Amino acid sequence: MLTEMFSRLRAMRPGTRLAALLCAAAVACCLALPPVVFAVWDGMLFAGTHPRADAGQAEPLGDAARANPAACLLYNCAHLLGVDPARPSGAPDQWQARTPAGQDLADAKARCAAAVDSAAALGLLADADAARLRAALDGSGYLLTAQDGPAGLTAYSLAPGPVPEEQPADAGPADALTLTLALTLTADGRPVYFSWQDSGRTGDAAGTGSLLAPALALLGVDEFTDWQPVDWGGRLPGAGEAAYSPAAQLYVSVNTGGGLTVGAASMTPEQFAALLD
């Protein structure tokens, strides 16, 4: 069989022969690679900056959006993976839950604290609120859990831990554990979702000024200049601020009711127009 194959190769024209040899070499290399290599390639595809649109449902991103890590990752999540970074529970088969311990817990707390510090530095959190969140991360009354998702995403949740059977005799309202923190971070620690709530708070957690610009900076999408404010007016009271960028294909919202929630979702201009209808 080999003799017949080589005879056919010699009978081919030089250009055709070269193409056949290259194809054969490529197939041989692929067959020789271990499965782990393909897993690495999958990770590079999902975390890369060159998304592929689903035919008939998504428009390819422009050059500026493909070069922006946050816009590209959120596009991939929406149109390739079907993942909402803000809601891991919506695709449980793509997220691996764990409870950090030891050095893993220390690293997780450090990542969350860095995100809190970034939000505070941008003016999204008051210094007192940032200090309370850092204390909650370091305190013994709260439990920090994590879910590892696709494309290098990790979702963290900080909430009050189990209540001890015996409360201190002098425990009062000041000892109440009322904070919760939910973050979804990229592999390099950039938030794509940030939410903290205080069940003991009444009213908004921030002043009357706009928080949209610092929210865009927190997400790493402030370089886009075509943000269109969305005024929900009386349609959605308490919806907070929102804006859409056609270039980034991103919808970003900021809500300060009871705390602070900053989120972003990738959507095409057509999907955004349908949202407004």
How much is the pLDDT for 215? 97
Chunked mean pLDDT (size 10), the chain, 277 residues: 42 44 35 32 34 55 94 93 88 91 96 98 95 92 94 95 55 64 96 93 60 97 96 77 96 92 94 88
Q: What is the rounded distance in angstroms from the CA atom of residue 182 to the CA atom of residue 213?
A: 21
Whole-model pTM?
Answer: 0.75
How much is the pLDDT for 16? 41
The residue extents of the domains of the chain are 63-160+177-276
Quick one: tokens of 178? 């009322």
Q: How far is CA 10 from CA 15, 18, 19, 70, 170, in A?
A: 12, 11, 13, 52, 93
Q: What residues have CB less than 8 Å from 154, skipping those under 6 apart?
A: 111, 146, 147, 148, 184, 185
How much is the pLDDT for 208? 54
Gyration radius of the chain over CA positions: 25
Q: Cβ atoms within 10 A of the Cβ of 113, count?
A: 15
One-letter amino acid of 265: A
Q: Are the beta carbons of 248 and 241 closer than 8 angstroms?
A: no
Q: What is the rounded distance in angstroms from the CA atom of residue 105 to the CA atom of residue 146?
A: 10
How much is the pLDDT for 66? 94
Residue among 220, 191, 197 nearest 112 (CA): 191
How much is the pLDDT for 233? 72
